[in-house]
Amino acid sequence: MKKDLRVILSGGGTGGHIYPAIAIADEIKKRHPQAEILFVGAKDRMEMEKVPQAGYKIEGLWISGVDRSFSLKNFIFPFKLMSSLSKSRKIIKNFKPDIVIGTGGFASGPLLRVAISNGIPTLIQEQNSLPGITNKILAKYADTICAAYEKVKEVFPANKTVITGNPVRQDLLKLGENREEADQYFGLTKNKKTVLILGGSLGARRINSLIETFLQRFKEEDIQLIWQTGKLYYEEYKKYDSPSVRVQQFINRMDLAYAAADVIISRAGAGSVSELCIVGKPVLFIPSPNVAENHQAKNAMAVTEHDAAMMMTEDELTESFDTCFFSFIKDERRLAQMASNIKKLALPDATSKIVNEVEKLVNKE
C-alpha cells in the first residue's frame, strides 16, 4: 500500500450521506495516518459545516438535485452541472487522488463522473435498500459498490456489489455505560424514563407536531424527552425546552443521546436504522412518506420483520399512537425483547469491510 495514500470522498445534502463518508475517512486515517483526505460536497449544504467539524477539509460544488415536478430551479440545473463538472476536473487535477469514494447525494455525481472518465478507481457506498438516483447512474461505471441490503443487487451489477452494511461512526460503536455522563450533558433527571425523539438529520415536521400534541401526556407519565426538532423547525418548538423536555435543533453528541435513552422514536433513514441496530434499544419507527419509492418504510420493515422494532406510518399516528406507544413503554418484558432482537441485526464491521475494498482497489493499480 502506498504510504501517501490520497483519497477524495464525496457525498452530502443530508446527514445520511455525510456521516458514512466521515466514518470511512476515520477508518482510512486510522489505518493510514499519512493519508491525505479531501471531501467534496455541495455549497450551502450541511456537509460544509459538519465535515470541518469532524476535522477534514472540504470543497463545495455549485450543484443541487432536479425537482421531480416542473420547477424554475430545473432551468439552471444544466449550468450548475457544467460548473460543477469543471470544478471537479480542477479538484481532481490538483489533488491527484488514488481513489474517489462516493456516498450518494448530488455532489458525488459530477465528481465521480470526472474520476471515472480519468480512469481513477472509484467506489460507491449505497445506504438504502432502494438506491438513490445518483448512485443508480454511477453504478454502471464505478469499480466497486458497497451496499447494506442484498436487494440492491437487483438494481446494481451483482458482480461488483459487495454487501458490507452501512458505516457507523466509531463513537457509536462503544456506547458502554456512559448514561450518567449523558444525563449530565442533556441536564436530565437521573433514573427517570427517557424517550429520545429523532427526525433524521433535517428533522421531521409530522413527528414534531405529534410530540407537541402529546407533551402533557408524557408529563403525566413522568417521562422526560430529548427532542431533536431539526434546524428548520427549532424556532417553532424551542419554547417547550425545560428540564424534562430537552429541545435540540441538532444533536452533535449522538453517542450521548443514544446512551441517555430508554426508548427511541425515529425516522427510518438508512443510517439511523443501522445505528439503532448497534445501539440496541427499543425503537418506534415513523418512516418519512416523502422519500423516493417509500424507501424509509422498507428500511424499517427490514427490522420489524424480525420483531425487532415497532413501526407506525404517519397516517396511523392520530388513531393509534396514544394507545400503542404508552402501553409499549410500560411493558418491560416487551421492551427487553425488542432491544435484544434489534441488537442481533447490527453490522458493526461495515466500515472496516468497506475500507478493505478501498485497499483492494488501490493495490490493484
236/285 Cα distance (integer angstroms) = 23
226/228 Cα distance (integer angstroms) = 7
Show the cell assigned to 169. Answer: 461512526
Q: Is residue 21 within 8 Å of residue 39, measured between CB atoms?
A: yes
Q: Cell 465521480 sits at which residue?
A: 112
Q: Is residue 14 involved in binding ligand UD1 (CB under 6 A)?
A: yes
Show the cell assigned to 42. Answer: 455541495
Q: Is residue 19 involved in binding ligand UD1 (CB under 6 A)?
A: yes
Measured in whole angstroms, how far is the alpha carbon of residue 95 from the centre of its chain? Answer: 27
Q: Enumerate residues 6+ apart whose C-beta is below 8 A from 352.
A: 27
Q: Is residue 109 involved in binding ligand UD1 (CB under 6 A)?
A: no
Q: Order of strands, edge to edge, in the sheet holding 36-42?
A: 57-61, 36-42, 6-10, 99-102, 122-126, 144-147, 161-163
Residues counted in the chain: 365
Nearer to ligand UD1, 60 or 271 (CB): 271
Q: How far is the CB of 355 from ligand UD1 (least distance, A)?
A: 18
Nearer to ligand UD1, 104 or 110 (CB): 104
Question: Which of 32, 35, 27, 55 has the alpha carbon at shortest distance from 97?
Answer: 35
Q: Is residue 126 within 8 Å of residue 152, measured between CB atoms?
A: yes
Q: How far is the CB of 93 from ligand UD1 (least distance, A)?
A: 30
Q: How far is the CB of 250 from ligand UD1 (least distance, A)?
A: 4
Provide the 3-class DSSP secondary structure of residue 363: helix
Q: How far is the CB of 234 from ligand UD1 (least distance, A)?
A: 11
Among 291, 303, 355, 362, binds ligand UD1 (CB under 6 A): 291
108/106 Cα distance (integer angstroms) = 5
Helix (H) or strand (E) holding 236: helix 234-237
Q: How far is the CB of 363 from ligand UD1 (least distance, A)?
A: 29
Q: Is residue 17 involved in binding ligand UD1 (CB under 6 A)?
A: yes
Q: What values do phi and psi take at 242, rounded to 5?
A: -160, 175
Q: Is residue 254 involved in binding ligand UD1 (CB under 6 A)?
A: yes
Provide the 3-class DSSP secondary structure of residue 252: coil
Contact region with ligand UD1 (CB under 6 A), list: 60-68, 134-142, 156-164, 265-273: 265-273
Q: Is residue 269 involved in binding ligand UD1 (CB under 6 A)?
A: yes
Among 250, 294, 326, 348, binds ligand UD1 (CB under 6 A): 250
Q: Is residue 64 involved in binding ligand UD1 (CB under 6 A)?
A: no
> Which residues are bridge partners to 100 per DSSP?
8, 122
Among 135, 208, 272, 304, binds ligand UD1 (CB under 6 A): 272
Among 21, 251, 278, 354, binds ligand UD1 (CB under 6 A): 251
Nearer to ligand UD1, 53 or 323 (CB): 53
Q: How far is the CB of 127 from ligand UD1 (least distance, A)?
A: 4
Q: How far is the CB of 271 from ligand UD1 (least distance, A)?
A: 3
Q: Is residue 201 involved in binding ligand UD1 (CB under 6 A)?
A: yes
Q: Is residue 302 involved in binding ligand UD1 (CB under 6 A)?
A: no
Binding mask 219-238 for ligand UD1 (x = CB under 6 A): ---------x----------
Q: Enumerate residues 6+ apart whose C-beta is below 8 A from 45.
A: 12, 13, 105, 107
Binding mask 127-156 for ligand UD1 (x = CB under 6 A): xx----------------------------
Sign of CA dihedral 117, 6, 149, 270: negative
Q: Is residue 275 involved in binding ligand UD1 (CB under 6 A)?
A: yes
Q: Is residue 91 within 8 Å of residue 100, measured between CB atoms?
A: no
* Binding residues vs ligand UD1 (CB under 6 A): 14-17, 19, 104, 127-128, 198, 200-201, 228, 250-251, 254, 267, 269-272, 275, 288, 291, 295-296
